[in-house]
Chain A
């Protein structure tokens, strides 16, 4: 600590993530959608040009959003605004930080820019969230400076199965560490390919040292509530709100769906509330079964 103000500290970055707990972060592609998300009770919005479902449908290289687009969204909402940079693309991250975005998602939803290295996130004032499919990956991202972890899932599919697998994996691996003798943690660190100090810290506290959200394939209030019951601290919803069975959801439908997911996340242990908010939501996004996606098109394998 210091008698003078210090920005970008660990506590300030991780603390920002703590304040989002219990909340829903929504993907938005226009200022109108951002307003709907804020009206519905989102704790933050993720500004991007195409939702994952469209990225998947349209293919091609997917990059950081246009700064004009991000600023357009910052202007209309008072809640935090996040934006995505490609894995390893530290210049996209520098650009996004210069726009005073509140959180950067180093995201496998975009096309990776570096197949060996992630961004050195300690070099930034803005906090980062990164995806992880297992504990080792989560700890490697935290070691690089991530202030928040989200399970990966298969974004843009509406299929929650991968998010479930990854959340269960991370939780199970944490439980396993907690039950180990201290002298077994050295080998555990080797197996997890993660620094010993972080492994020992997780074993001691029984949780990650940062907030753990869930993302990828969450399309309904019940999906969100299930992920919360599985131990997520909060939920990212991508295509599930502004996409419907027939394509783009009407604003009315999107608002109803967004509110329903916010309430289901808050009352994740109350099936009566989840039943109530699930009524009359209309057709959910069409969805793709993860099993039908060719392995080389799966997002979960991006990042290492």
Chain B
């Protein structure tokens, strides 16, 4: 049996509980990251969905932003869903002027790109590398990826409807990001992909 990697979920606000549960099912030992000590104890980090403005502000206030940047620069695998994708992106449109990010993922994202909550939606998507049937993707006031750097692999684009062609899942080395929320679905294939990434890079 493979050893379970220890993976943290940034626990400032948002879908923390669901990510912890999904990671456990996917074979990791999951811990909530509230402090520097917590951050130092993990081999990989999930940045959950929530309000990116709040996450950014409180991460700075709690002295967690710089250490997360340093961990990322040091090669710690990170996975961001929705607001987490925004936190990992190098370039963000429609952010608040004072908003700060972990950065490191060579993509441009647009915040709340799909519109307000009445435009939030779910659909089945083909996602590279997860195998099997299409993935149930839940988009909630979601960001999208407008442009990706050369080192970035596109894992999923929307394949039908008015937003066909929009990039919604990417990977660059140990960094993984999705516009949607796999933690809300009970389908842990994306989390399993991240657990493998952590095994590979940590």
A contact residues vs B (CB 8 Å cutoff):
1-9, 11-12, 15-16, 18-23, 38, 41-44, 78-80, 97, 100-103, 125-127, 262-263, 266
For B16, the chain A residues whose CB sits under 8 A away are 21-22
* Closest chain A CB from B93 CB (angstroms): 11
Question: Could you tell me which residues of chain B, from 153 to 192, have a CB within 8 Å of some CB in chain A?
Answer: 158-163, 181, 184-185
Asked if A15 contacts B13 (CB within 8 A), the reply is no
Question: B51 contacts the other chain (Cβ, under 8 Å)?
Answer: yes
For A125, the chain B residues whose CB sits under 8 A away are 118
Bound Cα distance from A38 to B162, whole angstroms? 31
Partner of A8 from B13, B118, B181 at Cβ < 8 Å: B118
Bound Cα distance from A127 to B141, whole angstroms? 13
Question: Could you tell me which residues of chain B, from 46 to 81, have a CB within 8 Å of some CB in chain A?
Answer: 49-51, 53-54, 57-58, 61-62
Given the contacts A16-B117, A21-B13, A1 and B58 also touching, CB distance less than 8 Å: no
Name the residue of chain B whose CB is nearest to the CB of A265. Answer: B13
Bound Cα distance from A100 to B118, whole angstroms? 6
Asked if B14 contacts A22 (CB within 8 A), the reply is yes
For A1, the chain B residues whose CB sits under 8 A away are 122-124, 134, 136
Question: B116 contacts the other chain (Cβ, under 8 Å)?
Answer: yes
Bound Cα distance from A262 to B136, whole angstroms? 33
Chain B residues with a Cβ closer than 8 Å to the other chain, count: 48
Asked if A97 contacts B122 (CB within 8 A), the reply is no
Given the contacts A12-B138, A16-B141, A126-B117, A23 and B123 also touching, CB distance less than 8 Å: no
Given the contacts A19-B82, A21-B13, A38-B53, A263 and B120 also touching, CB distance less than 8 Å: no
Bound Cα distance from A4 to B134, whole angstroms? 12
Partner of A19 from B57, B140, B158, B162 at Cβ < 8 Å: B140
Given the contacts A7-B119, A127-B117, A23 and B54 also touching, CB distance less than 8 Å: yes
Given the contacts A22-B16, A102-B117, A11 and B184 also touching, CB distance less than 8 Å: yes
Partner of A15 from B51, B54, B140 at Cβ < 8 Å: B140
Question: B96 contacts the other chain (Cβ, under 8 Å)?
Answer: yes
Bound Cα distance from A111 to B192, whole angstroms? 50
Name the residue of chain B whose CB is nearest to the CB of A43. Answer: B51
For B12, the chain A residues whose CB sits under 8 A away are 22, 266
Asked if A11 contacts B122 (CB within 8 A), the reply is yes
Bound Cα distance from A153 to B163, whole angstroms? 43
Partner of B13 from A2, A7, A12, A266 at Cβ < 8 Å: A266
Asked if B53 contacts A78 (CB within 8 A), the reply is yes
Asked if A19 contacts B58 (CB within 8 A), the reply is no
For A21, the chain B residues whose CB sits under 8 A away are 13-17, 50
For B163, the chain A residues whose CB sits under 8 A away are 5
Asked if B122 contacts A41 (CB within 8 A), the reply is no
Asked if A80 contacts B117 (CB within 8 A), the reply is yes
* Closest chain B CB from A82 CB (angstroms): 10
* Closest chain A CB from B64 CB (angstroms): 11
Asked if B13 contacts A22 (CB within 8 A), the reply is yes
* Extra A-B contacts (4), CB below 8 Å, given A43-B13, A78-B94, A101-B117: A3-B123, A11-B184, A97-B118, A100-B118
Asked if B53 contacts A79 (CB within 8 A), the reply is yes
Bound Cα distance from A265 to B18, whole angstroms? 19
Asked if A7 contacts B17 (CB within 8 A), the reply is no
For A15, the chain B residues whose CB sits under 8 A away are 15, 120, 138, 140, 181, 184
Bound Cα distance from A263 to B34, whole angstroms? 13
Asked if B49 contacts A7 (CB within 8 A), the reply is no
Asked if B13 contacts A78 (CB within 8 A), the reply is no
Given the contacts A16-B141, A22-B13, A262 and B58 also touching, CB distance less than 8 Å: yes
For B201, the chain A residues whose CB sits under 8 A away are none
Selected A-B contacts with CB under 8 Å, 14 pairs:
A3-B134, A3-B160, A4-B161, A5-B121, A5-B123, A6-B123, A11-B185, A15-B15, A15-B181, A19-B15, A20-B51, A38-B53, A127-B117, A266-B13
* Closest chain B CB from A296 CB (angstroms): 36
Given the contacts A78-B94, A80-B117, A12 and B140 also touching, CB distance less than 8 Å: yes
Question: B91 contacts the other chain (Cβ, under 8 Å)?
Answer: no
* Closest chain A CB from B180 CB (angstroms): 10
For A97, the chain B residues whose CB sits under 8 A away are 118
Bound Cα distance from A15 to B121, whole angstroms? 11
Given the contacts A2-B124, A11-B122, A23 and B116 also touching, CB distance less than 8 Å: no
Bound Cα distance from A80 to B118, whole angstroms? 11
* Closest chain B CB from A166 CB (angstroms): 22
Asked if A18 contacts B18 (CB within 8 A), the reply is yes
For B112, the chain A residues whose CB sits under 8 A away are 78
Bound Cα distance from A125 to B103, whole angstroms? 34
